[in-house]
Chain A
Amino acid sequence: AQSVTQLDSQVPVFEEAPVELRCNYSSSVSVYLFWYVQYPNQGLQLLLKYLSGSTLVKGINGFEAEFNKSQTSFHLRKPSVHISDTAEYFCAVSDQGFKTIFGAGTRLFVKA
């Protein structure tokens, strides 16, 4: 069975500092990996996805993630965060699209 572990429930960081949100997954089959962002009282917005090919994936809003098969990780990074990046971030895994399994989420709090 697939599962996703987000290692940090909350990450406070100062504006313009770099940030890494950690995600590990487990799956017995080939996986597809996603990061979603959710702003308060809003829906899910896809940040980026790994389907195949290059292990470094670039997404919207300056975010990127690296797929590491040997470590079963898909950590999300941004070199310089803004106040507007304050939100909940969900890592997710899918196999052939039959369902998506989400992690518990990491709340990124950017301080001025």
Chain B
Amino acid sequence: EPEVTQTPSHQVTQMGQEVILRCVPISNHLYFYWYRQILGQKVEFLVSFYNNEISEKSEIFDDQFSVERPDGSNFTLKIRSTKLEDSAMYFCASTTTGEPEQYFGPGTRLTVT
């Protein structure tokens, strides 16, 4: 069964550094998403992406964040200058046209020190 993959599984970075989290969505999917979950809290929507542009973003997704689909398979989330409060689990998800269920990846745990 096809699945969403994410790399790395755990990323440790220093405050102020740039990080790129990578996702490979399911191959025929057209809609892509990032969510985050701060430890012990709920999963929060960050951004949705379709047709090479952002379709919706939350108030969390400020200028420090950006997303990109650099090629036909990867979907990335970049945080330009990480802060301590960016420490969280980041989940990528994808879906296809007309399919309300999103398929989630296993997550990347980001630790900012």
- Chain A residues proximal to chain B, CB less than 8 Å: 32, 34, 42-44, 46, 49, 51, 90, 92, 94-105
B55 contacts A by Cβ under 8 Å: yes
How many positions in chain B have a CB within 8 Å of any CB in the partner chain?
23
Q: A43-B104, A46-B101, A94-B102 are in contact. Are A99 and B43 (CB under 8 A)?
A: no
Binding site for A on B (CB under 8 A): 31, 33, 35, 41-45, 48, 55-56, 91, 93, 95, 98-102, 104-107
Query: What is the chain A residue whose CB lies nearest that of B45?
Result: A99
Main secondary structure of the interface of B (DSSP, over half): strand
What's the Cα separation between A94 and B48 when bound, in Å? 13
- Closest chain A residue, CB of each to CB of B94: A97
The answer to whether A102 touches B42 (Cβ under 8 A) is yes
A103→B105 contact, CB < 8 A: no
Given A51-B100, A103-B42, A104-B42, A43 and B105 touching (CB < 8 A)? yes
The reply to whether A90 and B100 form a contact with Cβ atoms under 8 Å apart is: no
Q: How far is the CA of A42 from the CA of B91 in the complex (A)?
A: 11
In the complex, what's the smallest C-beta–C-beta distance from A10 to chain B, in angstroms?
Answer: 12
Contact status B56-A99, CB under 8 Å: yes
Decide if B95 touches A43 in the complex (CB within 8 Å): no
- A97 near B101 with CB under 8 A, answer yes
**CA of A49 to CA of B99, assembled, Å:** 12
